[in-house]
Amino acid sequence: MGAGSIALARAARGRGEGGPSRPVPDKTAPAPSGARRPRLLAGASGGGHWVELRRLRAAFEGFDVAYVSTFESYAEVVAGHRYYAVPDASRFSLKGFAPIFARALVVMVRERPAAFITTGSAPMLPFLLMARLFGVRTLWIDSIANAEHLSTSGRIAKRLAHRCLAQWPEVGAQEDIECWGRIV
């Protein structure tokens, strides 16, 4: 298990935050035969957010991963994993979030993930909220494109996610959140 995978596993377990809301098995050791891996739901909108999320896949080692994004065609990119497509939405059309909230509820009930990770974007906010309501550990990584300040969605996520990360040290310092480095 690589360093990124260990950091993700620790974030999923909630180390340093009063303990997890649901226990997540330690996957640094080989799983006993027949043991189930903890489920991870990984989400991002299309384009650069999706590229960043896909670059984190080595950190998902030891997890049973399902993906969620805004393009049906991305299912081919993550063949062999469960995939859910959702409509795109933005802060300029709040009614566009209603079907995403409904889809997020269905996905959370079906997947029952131990952790949810996203590289940010407005369509993932409903998943973040549903994850919190389901007692799922959450990690929001704001996009690398936000080099001067946290995104609008990131400012909301900062209040909802168990951990919110910036990819620029200056943004992390300005927003009083951690910076673990850049994905890209």
Side chain identity, residue 32: P
76 CB-near residues (< 8 Å, 6+ apart) = none
- Residue bearing the bigger pLDDT, 124 or 25: 124
Tokens of 4: 């990124």
Closest by CA to 163, choosing from 20, 24, 1, 55, is 20
43 CB-near residues (< 8 Å, 6+ apart) = 53, 67, 68, 69, 116, 117, 118, 123, 124, 127
Closest by CA to 159, choosing from 135, 140, 182, is 140
**Beta-sheet strands, E only, within the chain:** 39-43, 64-69, 82-85, 115-118, 137-141, 163-166, 178-179
pLDDT, residue 11, reads: 54
Closest by CA to 39, choosing from 82, 103, 102, is 82
178 CB-near residues (< 8 Å, 6+ apart) = 163, 164, 165, 166, 172
Would you place residue 155 in the very low, low, confident or very high pLDDT band (cuts 50, 70, 90)? Answer: confident
**Average per-residue pLDDT in the chain?**
82
Tokens of 149: 């300040």
pLDDT, residue 31, reads: 54
How far is residue 18 CA from its own chain's centroid? 20
pLDDT, residue 134, reads: 97
Q: How far apart are CA 13 and CA 24, in angstroms?
A: 6
For 3-17+36-179, which CATH superfamily applies? Glycogen Phosphorylase B; (3.40.50.2000)
pLDDT, residue 158, reads: 92
Domain boundary assignment for the chain: 3-17+36-179
Among 7-11, 34-38, 74-78, 108-112, the minimum mean pLDDT is found in 7-11
